């Protein structure tokens, strides 16, 4: 099959900072560099929507931004109204005339892009980046029976969408197994999200004596950053350590308040959202990377830290054990246990230097099997309809995932009205049509992420307080 034009449809795309957005951007940029014409269909990051030429990683891409609205209680996520969305995407696909459409989930934009692709008889490749149960649990305020009902609806929708795809992938074997359990009778290929190893080769090896711990990710409840803060508070006062937290989210204010309540002001730095360049600097300064989340289907942030040669401390949950191997490139800790996490933090910084250096090498070696170029090679074959016998994760060991922990927190309400400007590569031109002439040029190349919320002060719920008390009495 001749391959010239590719459409990537997703519900989140750069400048958003999350695993799906990072993967979609990296894939789109790599394909464009290889000479394909890449179009991305994604939500607008503000009230500015339409077709634009945007620079990502200094590579111009054509992005079709759909009118979107901020999700309640989720300041960093936006939602496209589904009414008429299939017809809108059908119009785009009809004008673009792609050889393949690649969706990143069965939710909303992916769902309607799949319908549009099949309607236009375009080859459909689908990647699953979303765990439906986690999505419902962490974005919707509702009684348990309502959440169960919505989760079942999403799982049924996943079955319909993925069964219509010509090829299905997931970022880890664990994620592939989960999807195969939901969508019976389909083959799901595990294909790593991939990382450009060359980006991190220039970074110096981590300094163990610096004792600088780094977390990168959203500050939402499923990330369990509060467990990390509790762990830091349990370290001896004489144990000198600095924790940098990069990212924003619905729990940003609560976590900063918790940090102050635990007396961690001198130990913990909340840095907010950083540009890719600033994040690379922080990675270079860090000694160890930590990921307390229990809902990772891969964790691009962890993979990037491994590529930078950072030893990893991660929760023994979901797909993280695919990336972190005990005593090989770091340590796994008992999910939701600040005591065990604190022990692992002390252990890794008190290792003999030779053992620490082995963990550094281990991270780089394990990351080498996730080279972005190999990931793109696999997708090129899938786009052409060619058989893929070997994937990027064939050497990934099997493991029995631990049971998901009990739900710990109740949803909280976002306060204030903010605009977050990310000074990274941004919109440079508005296009008249999918390949039309330039109708408007932007000299101020910044992304603007709108945050709107109800005028209600965020606060820790009674349930959150009870959970923290239980954690303080851990074990």
Beta bridge partners of 65: 42, 50
Record: fold of 204-368+462-472? Rossmann fold (3.40.50)
The answer to whether the bond into 15 is cis (omega within 30° of 0) is yes
pLDDT tens-digit profile of 349-362?
999 999 999 999 99
pLDDT tens-digit profile of 44-81?
988 899 999 999 999 999 999 999 998 766 666 788 99
pLDDT tens-digit profile of 308-361?
999 999 999 988 998 999 999 999 999 999 999 999 999 999 999 999 999 999
Q: Report the sign of the C-alpha dihedral through residues 268, 206, 237, 462, in that order.
A: positive
Q: Are 174 and 401 in contact (CB under 8 A)?
A: yes
Closest CA to 191 of 340, 450, 380, 21: 380
Please, which pLDDT band fits residue 197 given cuts at 50, 70 and 90?
very high
pLDDT tens-digit profile of 9-48?
999 999 988 889 999 999 999 999 999 999 999 999 888 9
Quote the CA–CA distance of 412 and 214 in Å, as a whole number.
25
Q: Which CATH superfamily is domain 5-194+371-404+419-450 in?
A: Glycogen Phosphorylase B; (3.40.50.2000)
Q: Tell the residue number behind the tokens 């695993």, with chain if given.
A: 19
Closest CA to 445 of 34, 29, 53: 53
Please, which pLDDT band fits residue 136 given cuts at 50, 70 and 90?
low
Quote the CA–CA distance of 374 and 169 in Å, as a whole number.
14
Residues 6+ apart with CB under 8 A from 160: 106
- Report the pLDDT value the prediction gives residue 372, as an integer from 0 to 100: 95
Quote the CA–CA distance of 140 and 145 in Å, as a whole number.
12
The angle subtended at Cα 209 by Cα 283 and Cα 337, nearest 5°, is: 70
- Work out the mean pLDDT of the chain and round it to a whole number: 84
Q: Is the pLDDT at 420 greater than 50, yes or no?
A: no
| Residue 444 burial class via C-beta count within 10 angstroms: exposed 0-12, middle 13-18, buried 19 and up | exposed
Give the SS3 label for residue 69: strand
Listing DSSP states for 98-166 in one string gives -SEEEES-SSTHHHHHHHHHHHTT-EEEEE----HHHHHHHH----HHHHHHHHHHHHHHHHHHHHT-S
Q: Is the pLDDT at 90 greater than 90, yes or no?
A: yes
Q: Is the pLDDT at 295 greater than 60, yes or no?
A: yes
Closest CA to 301 of 408, 223, 185: 223
Determine the longest span between alpha carbons in the chain, in angstroms. 65
Q: Report the sign of the C-alpha dihedral through residues 335, 337, 340, 344, in that order.
A: positive
Residues 6+ apart with CB under 8 A from 244: 212, 213, 214, 215, 269, 271, 282, 285, 286
Q: Are 282 and 305 in contact (CB under 8 A)?
A: no
Residue spans per domain, the chain: 5-194+371-404+419-450, 204-368+462-472
Task: Output phi, psi for 234, to 5 deg.
Answer: -90, -10
Give the SS3 label for residue 57: coil
Element housing 450 (H / E): strand 447-451
Burial 124-163 (b: 16+ CB within 10 A, else e): bbbbbbbbbbbbbbbbeeeeeeebeebbeebeeebbebbe
- Report the pLDDT value the prediction gives residue 319, as an integer from 0 to 100: 85
Percent of the chain residues topping a pLDDT of 90: 60
- Report the pLDDT value the prediction gives residue 249, as an integer from 0 to 100: 85
pLDDT tens-digit profile of 425-435?
467 777 877 77
Tokens of 433: 């049509």
- Report the pLDDT value the prediction gives residue 378, as an integer from 0 to 100: 96
Q: Are 91 and 113 in contact (CB under 8 A)?
A: no
Q: Is the pLDDT at 466 greater than 60, yes or no?
A: no
- Average pLDDT on 156-179 reads 90
Tokens of 276: 């890719």
pLDDT tens-digit profile of 361-406?
999 999 998 999 999 999 999 999 998 866 656 545 443 333 333 3
Closest CA to 118 of 90, 85, 82, 80: 90
- Domain 204-368+462-472 in the same topology as domain 5-194+371-404+419-450: yes
């Amino acid at each position: 099959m001749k391959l010239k034009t590719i459409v990537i449809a997703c519900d989140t795309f750069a400048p958003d900072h999350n695993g799906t957005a990072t993967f979609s951007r990296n894939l789109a940029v790599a394909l464009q560099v290889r000479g394909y014409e890449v179009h991305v269909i994604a939500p607008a990051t503000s009230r500015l929507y339409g077709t634009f030429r945007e620079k990502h990683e200094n590579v111009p891409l054509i992005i079709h931004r759909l009118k979107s609205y901020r999700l309640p209680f989720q300041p960093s996520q936006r939602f496209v109204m589904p009414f008429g969305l299939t017809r809108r995407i059908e119009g785009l696909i009809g004008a673009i005339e792609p050889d393949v459409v690649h969706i990143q989930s069965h939710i909303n934009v992916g769902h309607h892009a799949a319908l549009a692709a099949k309607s236009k008889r375009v080859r459909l490749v689908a990647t699953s980046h979303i765990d439906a149960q986690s999505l419902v649990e962490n974005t919707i305020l509702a009684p348990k029976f309502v959440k169960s009902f919505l989760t079942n609806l999403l799982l049924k929708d996943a079955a319909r969408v993925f069964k219509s795809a010509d090829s299905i992938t997931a970022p880890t074997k664990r994620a592939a197994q989960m999807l195969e359990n939901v969508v019976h009778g389909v083959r799901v290929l595990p294909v790593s999200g991939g990382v450009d190893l060359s980006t991190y080769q220039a970074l110096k090896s981590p300094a163990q004596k610096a004792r600088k711990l780094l977390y990168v990710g959203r500050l939402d409840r499923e990330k369990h950053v509060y467990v990390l803060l509790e762990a830091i508070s349990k370290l001896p006062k004489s144990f000198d350590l600095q924790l940098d937290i990069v990212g924003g989210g619905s729990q940003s204010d609560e976590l900063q308040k918790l940090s102050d309540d635990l007396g961690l002001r001198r130990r913990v730095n909340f840095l907010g959202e950083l540009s890719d360049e600033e994040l690379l600097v922080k990675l270079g300064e860090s000694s160890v990377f930590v990921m307390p989340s229990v809902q990772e289907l891969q964790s691009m942030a962890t993979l990037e830290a491994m590529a930078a040669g950072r030893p990893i401390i991660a929760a023994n949950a979901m797909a993280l054990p695919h990336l972190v191997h005990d005593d090989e490139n770091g340590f796994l800790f008992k999910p939701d246990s600040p005591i065990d996490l604190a022990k692992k933090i002390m252990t890794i910084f008190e290792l003999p230097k030779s053992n620490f250096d082995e963990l550094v090498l281990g991270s780089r070696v394990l990351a080498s099997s996730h080279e972005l170029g190999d990931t793109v090679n696999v997708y090129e074959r899938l786009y052409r309809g060619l058989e893929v016998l070997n994937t990027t994760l064939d050497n990934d060991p099997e493991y029995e995932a631990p049971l998901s922990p009990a739900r710990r927190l109740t949803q909280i309400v976002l306060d204030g009205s903010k605009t977050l400007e990310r000074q990274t590569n941004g919109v440079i031109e508005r296009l008249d049509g999918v390949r039309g002439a330039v109708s408007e040029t932007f000299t101020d190349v910044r992304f603007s992420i709108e945050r709107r919320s109800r005028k209600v002060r965020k606060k820790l719920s009674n349930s959150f307080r009870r959970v923290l008390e239980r954690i303080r009495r851990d074990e």
